């Protein structure tokens, strides 16, 4: 009886590499799916916050905070209706409205421009975590859909402050939950489809190679080239999904191995090809993670990065030692109105640049349209005035690429330190720093007004 011959070394290596390839494709496909869904959610949340913060920027907090039911149909009430109607008609939102907090976890409508079924003045609004956060002065987005008599929605809220720095009202926007989930599901279907095709293609390649000679080994390398093309195509599909900036994607394309350079070293060429595919997918995962934590306009940390940093500080408890500075651009709306949003964006980027020069890019975050936060670890409140003065001096000397925008970079600021035993969380430190910033803004306003007389 003849002994069954052993698999030759090439086929053994092919089986080993093929198994590794399939495992890597499955694992990286799952990671890519999770990371991409998280990034899309983050981008959708950012878009929702951008809408609310932009609408809130058009509001007069002093007037909005004093609206009563008797003002319904009045001049300012109709003015707010007009502003919100523009957003409802031109932006992809279901509803946009103004609400007011009247008690703990109790909020009511003040202005609703919906022409079909508006919320009546004083009608109660369903309270959510994001709405509570806005009531405390921090814009936020609900992570779960909310149901009311109008349907199921994902909602975002942004506070409107009066001249004293108090929350005078809240601008809310509702995005249809079905539309929101469809964006997520569309991305998931795309990734799952391509990942499944990739795994099936890899399995087919392995089956062919195990039943053929070394001549077919070169065919497998060609098939792996097709696999790499599929990975590149996957990258393009995901980056072209609504909400992504395709121009930001500078991902390397895996190079094809030259099998003629080393005849007889097909296994080495296969190994190079696998490494190239893995490198390409790892680079894309890194890109997705960076996009989820980076502000697209300024390149500094966004709200996601800021929340992760504050959570880490809260975990330190009373052992933490840090100070917080809050910055707010002065007259950004006027700059946008007079010189255009391109100049406004230039001023925002300039603000990020000068703050980073003083505090370091890794410590600066953009958390709103015109608001920045700097976290200075191992600093005390007594250290902050000198740092804030350096920022103010740098802002005054900053040269814009467009000369029309020179001299328009002005920042109000406030800073406080973490007080162990008194402050229970970073949020309490932020609130005090934010109050200090608004006091500084009011003082600067009074100073400038007196100077103009």
Rounded Cα–Cα distance for residues 267 and 269 (Å): 5
Highest mean pLDDT among 276-285, 380-389, 439-448: 380-389
Q: Would you say residue 243 has pLDDT above 90?
A: no
Instruction: Give the mean model confidence (pLDDT) for residues 399-417.
Output: 85
Residues across the chain: 453
Rounded Cα–Cα distance for residues 276 and 232 (Å): 11
Q: What is the pTM of this model?
A: 0.44
Six-digit token pair at 16? 């080993």
Identify the structural domains of the chain with CATH numbers, from first to last: 42-179 (3.30.450.20), 303-452 (3.30.70.270)
Report the mean per-residue pLDDT for the chain.
82
Lowest mean pLDDT among 125-139, 181-195, 323-337: 181-195
For position 302, what pLDDT does the model report? Answer: 95
Rounded Cα–Cα distance for residues 373 and 433 (Å): 9
Higher-scoring residue by pLDDT: 17, 125: 125
Instruction: Give the mean model confidence (pLDDT) for residues 153-157.
Output: 89
Instruction: Give the mean model confidence (pLDDT) for residues 416-445.
Output: 95
Q: Would you say residue 259 has pLDDT above 50?
A: no
For position 237, what pLDDT does the model report? Answer: 59
For position 30, what pLDDT does the model report? Answer: 74
Element (H, E) at 364: strand 364-366
Rounded Cα–Cα distance for residues 206 and 187 (Å): 29
Distances (CA, A) of 192 to 34, 44, 198, 239, 243: 11, 21, 10, 15, 19
End-to-end CA distance of the chain: 111
Where residue 113 falls among pLDDT bands split at 50, 70, 90? very high
* DSSP β-bridge partners for residue 365: 301, 373
Six-digit token pair at 33? 């799916």
Rounded Cα–Cα distance for residues 421 and 424 (Å): 7
Rounded Cα–Cα distance for residues 60 and 305 (Å): 31
For position 295, what pLDDT does the model report? Answer: 92
Distances (CA, A) of 415 to 125, 192, 384: 34, 48, 6
Distances (CA, A) of 429 to 302, 304, 401, 420: 19, 18, 36, 11
Lowest mean pLDDT among 46-50, 81-85, 118-122, 252-256: 252-256
Q: DSSP letter string over 302-327?
A: -HHHHHHHHHHHHHHGGG--EEEEEE
Q: DSSP letter string over 371-420?
A: EEEEEEET--GGGHHHHHHHHHHHHHHPPPSSGGGTT---EEEEEEE--T
Closest by CA to 96, choosing from 77, 111, 78, is 111
Higher-scoring residue by pLDDT: 176, 6: 176
Where residue 398 falls among pLDDT bands split at 50, 70, 90? confident
Rounded Cα–Cα distance for residues 276 and 257 (Å): 9
Place of tokens 């992504």: 244
For position 3, what pLDDT does the model report? Answer: 46
Neighbouring CB atoms inside 10 A of 8's CB total 11
Rounded Cα–Cα distance for residues 71 and 74 (Å): 5
Percent of the chain with pLDDT over 90: 44
Label the pairing between strands 167-176 and 151-161.
antiparallel
Q: DSSP letter string over 102-161?
A: EETTEEEEEE---SSSPPPTT-EE---HHHHHHHTT--EE-SS-EEETTEEEEEEEEEEE
For position 200, what pLDDT does the model report? Answer: 73
For position 358, what pLDDT does the model report? Answer: 97
């Amino acid at each position: 009886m003849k002994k069954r011959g052993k698999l030759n070394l090439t086929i053994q290596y092919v089986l080993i590499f093929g198994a590794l390839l399939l495992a890597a494709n499955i694992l990286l496909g799952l990671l890519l799916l999770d990371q991409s869904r998280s990034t899309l959610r983050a981008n959708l949340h950012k878009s929702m916050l951008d809408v609310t913060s932009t609408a809130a920027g058009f509001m007069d907090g002093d007037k909005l905070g004093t609206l009563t039911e008797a003002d319904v149909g009045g001049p300012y009430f109709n003015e707010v209706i007009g502003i919100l109607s523009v957003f409802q008609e031109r932006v992809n939102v279901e509803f946009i409205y103004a609400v007011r907090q009247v008690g703990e976890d109790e909020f009511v409508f003040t202005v609703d421009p919906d022409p079909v079924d508006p919320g009546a003045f004083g009608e109660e609004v369903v309270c959510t975590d994001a709405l509570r956060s806005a009531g405390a002065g921090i814009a936020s987005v609900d992570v779960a859909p909310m149901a009311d008599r109008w349907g199921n929605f994902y909602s975002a809220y942004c506070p409107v402050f009066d001249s004293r720095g108090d929350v005078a009202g809240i601008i809310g926007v509702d995005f249809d939950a079905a539309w929101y989930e469809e964006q997520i599901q569309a991305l998931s279907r795309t990734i799952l489809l391509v990942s499944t095709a990739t795994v099936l293609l890899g399995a087919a390649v392995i089956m062919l190679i195990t039943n053929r000679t070394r001549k077919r080994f070169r065919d497998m390398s060609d098939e792996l080239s097709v696999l790499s093309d599929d990975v590149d195509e996957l990258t393009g599909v995901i980056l072209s999904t609504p909400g992504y900036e395709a121009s930001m994607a500078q991902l390397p394309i895996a190079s094809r191995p030259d099998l003629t350079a080393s005849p007889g070293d097909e296994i080495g060429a296969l190994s190079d090809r696998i490494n190239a595919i893995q490198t390409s997918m790892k680079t894309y995962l890194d890109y997705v993670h960076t996009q989820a934590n980076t502000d697209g306009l300024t390149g500094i940390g966004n709200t996601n990065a800021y929340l992760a940093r504050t959570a880490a500080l809260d975990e330190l408890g009373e052992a933490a030692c840090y100070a917080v500075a809050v910055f707010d651009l002065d007259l950004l709306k006027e700059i946008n109105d007079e010189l255009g949003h391109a100049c406004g964006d230039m001023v925002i980027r300039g603000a990020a640049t000068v703050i980073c020069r003083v505090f370091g890019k890794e410590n600066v975050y953009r958390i709103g349209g015109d608001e920045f936060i700097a976290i200075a670890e191992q600093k005390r409140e007594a250290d902050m005035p000198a740092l804030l003065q350096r920022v103010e001096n740098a802002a005054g000397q900053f040269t814009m690429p467009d000369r029309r925008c020179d001299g328009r970079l002005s920042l109000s600021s406030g800073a406080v330190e973490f007080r162990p035993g008194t402050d229970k969380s970073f949020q309490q430190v932020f609130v005090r720093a934010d109050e200090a910033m608004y006091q500084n803004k009011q003082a600067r306003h009074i100073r400038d007004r007196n100077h103009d007389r």
